[in-house]
Structure 1
């Protein structure tokens, strides 16, 4: 089946970022876009949707508010429609519960007619004669194919669970944090459980398992290669780095400097909520008062190798303590890898590789306007520009800014204000300030 419409753009993937784009373009009558996702429905990180877990950003960082506070797709309007806006106000906690955010996104989707789940983008080709893209889409339930033509593309396929190379052959036995809730009951039947990782997901899982430790009697360990269990830095002047100015500053740095910065800025976007760190300590203290629990927390320990012993039903982990420069072994029956997520280039772009610009590491060479094609005008990316635009890339709080920017680039018109400067501080040395030979007067 062929769709004879010529769309202004096709959005591939329907996570929060492309869903925000769909919401913001809904009211632009002259802009015709369509979105596809191979999943059956929107379900954001279901494996980590524990009852009390929250996003690490306030409700204003929803799909639309920071671009259009009057949008009908705002989180506050969702609360109003559900009859809970006063309860949320009285609650006095502006961090959104994760399962509530998921419901909010599903509520928005229910009002959009151009977002289509169960639709897998198979391949994309460029038609030079007509100067449009031909997108081949397969319905995952019926197997039916359709062709969609569009002037521009927005890639929002998201990230995938990252598994260290040494763990790839044991993932039929181990659990990635993305699937934690699916495997929680089985894990709690083990005599020992080890959580590997240093970020928010590792902390949430450790805290969740710690609550039932005296009931099930398992040993619970948390191991990370980080030098400490570091909190997410959330001071106000640091938050100014989630700004257009810092994106400009970071983008204009040499690639090697950008890579070095990203590797040293994990506390800015991969740290643990400081309240949760306190809750873990308090729960450890209380549990130990009431029972002889077996718990362990270890830093500076990097996983080097892992093997599963089927006869004894346990994992044997070879770890390395960096500061002491010593290797050691750790045995555990249950293993949870809270090792984060990484971007994987979707298979369907294979037919466009000659049109895309690449850096020397085989990554997208992303332009400042979030395009990756050689013309710098056609193929946009969402959450694939960490190495070019900095640690704000996966931040939901900057999604409205990026979407406003992309809409401006697609239409040539600034439908939503694209902020240039919001920070009190200055990150760069201007050309006027720079001196070649510094001498004190």
Structure 2
């Protein structure tokens, strides 16, 4: 019997946010596990504890998806890890029902995620960052090749090597900052918001600006206006006011699990139509209730003449420089083509995120991965990177697949089904590929030689 079975994981998850948490559940609930074939899995998370957009857990902000789009329900409504079961075990099921609301607060949903995550403490290592992924230079005793992950463990201040036949990369979105602006003292990306705000004396914040036209920008502007009653709040909006998110029933079908197939197997014209007609379901848009709250607040100030909330529409940030104890923001208006300067005590950049890319993480393994004419990764329907036939391992992406799988690539809307599809793929491919591993050994050595 091959001794490597005790040393090689079937799948290692890089990152332990909602996506890989959902995968962990799906692996545990897979039909094959009950037949005596458990999947050996481990997850590594660089945060010191479970956390999901902690710095945007603003009071009373709600989820933009139904509570039924939790980690499991669309895949397995009977799962014990459903949001409904969380409410039941927390003693709040009746009270939540009495709210007559499909959308829990973001804080409560975060508590739900923590509750689920606590059941997988034996599989996840926190304060552990995966530094790189390489292919093992030699096969194990049964001629199987595997991936080697170098992991930095902050708790012990050392690195370790973990072996895996498959990896699931879910490192999250990457904060996007304008090229002409650098974060620093009193200049924060929205992903840092609450943490940075707590470190500042509110009395020192007399003028605060928020850049952006999406949900986070509007939420932060509303929050600052409510919590800093003596401050002037400037909303620097790239469009002519906030645009409302389309959450009507037919438009929301773009987030259905079936829509992934329509996008993936559709023509270029099909995929273009998805983005052209339905981008306003998620990108650079704001929920109707927040828009109305901000407009009411602004109008009330117009009535009293005591203005604190200012909207600078069709305005771009040209530069930010330090001006004594404040930051001087150079603004360009597309309305009158004028440039003005604004001295502010804090600047919040709610300027969005870019997709994650695994290129730096997988290193030389990238040589085995296929790309399309535009240089993007080719990805199979089961979220596995397309690789050379001789490459023996699976690299799954939970994010960075918008060009192949559509709008739900990194969203919670499809997290339960996506996790289940990856779990099915890992288990099915592992069993199907086992007899062919030995035949692949020489071919993969040849591929390494071609890669240099």
Please indicate, yes or no, whether the TM-score normalized by the shorter chain is above 0.5: yes
CA gap 1:351/1:3 in 2 versus in 1, 3 angstroms: farther
Partner of residue 410, structure 2: 394
CA gap 1:255/1:360 in 2 versus in 1, 3 angstroms: farther
The number of equivalent residue pairs is 406
Secondary structure of the residue that 2:369 maps to in structure 1? coil
Map Cα deviations across residues 133-175 of structure 1 (whole Å, 9 max, x no partner): 122222111023332222111111111211111113x534411
Secondary structure of the residue that 1:326 maps to in structure 2? coil
Secondary structure of the residue that 1:405 maps to in structure 2? helix
Take 2:330 and 2:154, find their aligned partners in 1: how far apart are those partners? 39
Aligned-residue offset at 1:85: 0.9
Partner of residue 447, structure 2: none
Aligned-residue offset at 1:187: 7.8
Aligned-residue offset at 1:68: 0.7
TM-score by length of 2: 0.83
Take 2:212 and 2:135, find their aligned partners in 1: how far apart are those partners? 42
Take 1:77 and 1:161, find their aligned partners in 2: how far apart are those partners? 33
Map Cα deviations across residues 286-330 of structure 1 (whole Å, 9 max, x no partner): 455556123221332233x21213336232223241xx4724224
Take 1:171 and 1:260, find their aligned partners in 2: how far apart are those partners? 40
What pairs with 1:10-409 in structure 2 (closer than 5 Å)? 10-28=12-30, 29=33, 30=37, 31-112=39-120, 113-127=122-136, 129=139, 130-168=144-182, 170-184=183-197, 186=200, 188=202, 189-213=204-228, 215-216=229-230, 218-252=231-265, 258=271, 262=275, 265-270=278-283, 271-289=285-303, 292-303=306-317, 305-311=318-324, 313-321=326-334, 324=335, 326-333=337-344, 334-346=346-358, 347-375=360-388, 378-409=394-425
Q: More strand by proportion, 1 or 2?
A: 1
Contact 2:235 2:312 in 1 (8 A): yes
- Any gaps of 5 or more consecutive residues in structure 2? 430-452
Take 1:335 and 1:125, find their aligned partners in 2: how far apart are those partners? 41
Worse-matched range after superposition: 280-289 or 200-209: 280-289
Aligned-residue offset at 1:176: 1.0
Take 2:119 and 2:63, find their aligned partners in 1: how far apart are those partners? 23
- Any gaps of 5 or more consecutive residues in structure 1? 414-441
Aligned-residue offset at 1:387: 2.1
TM-score by length of 1: 0.84
Take 2:319 and 2:196, find their aligned partners in 1: how far apart are those partners? 20
Contact 1:268 1:391 in 2 (8 A): no
Contact 1:255 1:388 in 2 (8 A): no
